[in-house]
Amino acid sequence: MRILILSTLVALLAGCATTQAPPARPQLYPNAAYDRIGASAANAEVDACLAKAQASGLTPMAQSHAAAQGAASGGVMGGVAGVVGGLVTGHGLENSLKQGVASAAVGGAVGAAGGAMRPNQPNPLYRNFVQRCISEKGLESIGWN
C-alpha cells in the first residue's frame, strides 16, 4: 500500500513538472533589409516563417518520451536491484521476487518523474527551416531567445 501511495505521489509531482516555457523565436540583426521594412514587418515575416515551418509538419520542440523511458529503465533497474538485494541478504527466492516487484514499482515511478522533469529539446530541423526562410527574405538571425 505504501508503494502505491508513493508511486501516485511521484507521478503527480512529475505531472506538475512538465509545464513548458513558450518556444524561442529568432532574434533579428538590424541589417539593411530589416531597416528598409521596419521592425513590425520584419517580425511579421518571422511569424510567417514560423507558421510555414509548422505547416510543413515541424514542431518547435523535439518531442521526447523521457518520462516513459525513465519509467522503463527505472522499473528494470529497481526490479533487478530488489531481487539481487533480496538474494544477497538471504531472504529466499520468493521474498526476493516480492521485493523485486516492489522495487520495480518504486523505480518506475521515480524514473518517470525524473524523465518528466527533463524538458523537451529544441528541434534543430524547425530552427533550420525558419532560419532559411527568414534569410531568403533578406533578414538575418543572430540567435534564438
Neighbours of 138 (CB within 10 A): 14
Question: Among positive and negative, which fits the CA dihedral 103, 109, 112, 117?
Answer: negative
Q: pLDDT (tens digit, 9 = 90+) per residue, 51-86?
A: 999 999 999 988 765 555 666 666 666 666 666 666
Copy the grid coordinates of residue 18: 512538465
- Cell match 521596419: residue? 38
pLDDT of 62 reads 81
> pLDDT truncated to tens, each residue of the chain (145 aa)?
666 665 665 655 555 555 556 778 999 999 999 999 999 999 999 999 999 999 999 999 887 655 556 666 666 666 666 666 666 677 676 776 677 677 767 676 666 666 656 556 789 999 999 999 999 999 999 999 9
pLDDT of 130 reads 97
Residue 134 and residue 66: Cα distance in Å, rounded? 32
Mean pLDDT estimate for the chain: 78
Structural element, H or E, at residue 61: strand 61-62
Give the three-state DSSP class for 28.
strand
User: In whole angstroms, how far apart are CA 58 and each of 43, 134, 141?
Assistant: 20, 16, 19
Residue 137 and residue 7: Cα distance in Å, rounded? 52
